Amino acid sequence: MDNAAGVEQPKRYVAIFYVLAAIALGKFLEKIFSLAFSYARFNDATVLVEGWNVSTVAGFAVATLVAVVVWRIPKTQAVSLEIALELKRVTWPSLRETRAATVAVVVASLIASVILGVFDFVWGRLSALVY
């Protein structure tokens, strides 16, 4: 994959994402394994140190294996790097622009709620007269 327009490929950020995704998947799998062990009435014994059970070790081992396997797939790695490269090219709004857009959304929401409130009030009065 070539560097486009002299922009460095953000391989480090993609690697950090994979590590964080593996940690999140490990925590999820830890809970899944713990639940499966409790249904199977398997003793989830403490391993290594306090707080590390068989389900914890198994969950993080599977998550690490999945992260390494997914990273080693060339297409997945290329797509991950392309996504990170595109995110580096994004022009993010400044704080001033974000604040102005937020104020515009709040004002538009207030105006819409007043208009809908008036319609609701009028429709309620008309319904009360008919029924």
- Same domain assignment for residues 78 and 120: no
Positive or negative: CA dihedral 68, 73, 78, 80: negative
- Same domain assignment for residues 126 and 68: no
- Same domain assignment for residues 13 and 44: yes
Q: What is the CA radius of gyration of the chain?
A: 26
- Same domain assignment for residues 110 and 82: no
More confident residue, 29 or 131: 29
The domain boundary residue, chosen from 57, 74, 90: 90
Number of Cβ within 10 Å of residue 22's Cβ equals 20
User: Residue 21's pLDDT band (boundaries 50, 70, 90)?
Assistant: very high
1, pLDDT greater than 70: no
- Same domain assignment for residues 7 and 67: yes
**CA–CA separation, 36 vs 30, rounded Å?**
10
- Same domain assignment for residues 98 and 35: no
- Same domain assignment for residues 25 and 84: yes
More confident residue, 107 or 55: 107
- Same domain assignment for residues 76 and 113: no
* pLDDT at site 8: 57
Q: Which residue range is the domain that position 57 belongs to?
A: 1-90
- Same domain assignment for residues 50 and 102: no
5, pLDDT greater than 60: no
Query: How much of the chain is helix, strand and coil, in % rounded to 5?
Result: 80, 0, 20
- Same domain assignment for residues 12 and 63: yes
* pLDDT at site 45: 76
User: How many residues are recorded in the chain?
Assistant: 131
More confident residue, 28 or 130: 28
Structural domain total, the chain: 2
User: pLDDT above 90 covers what percent of the chain?
Assistant: 48
Q: What is the pLDDT of residues 26-84, one digit of tens each?
A: 999 999 988 988 888 888 777 777 778 888 889 999 999 999 999 899 999 889 888 88
What is the residue type of 37? F
- Same domain assignment for residues 83 and 117: no
Give pTM, 2 decimals: 0.61
- Same domain assignment for residues 70 and 112: no
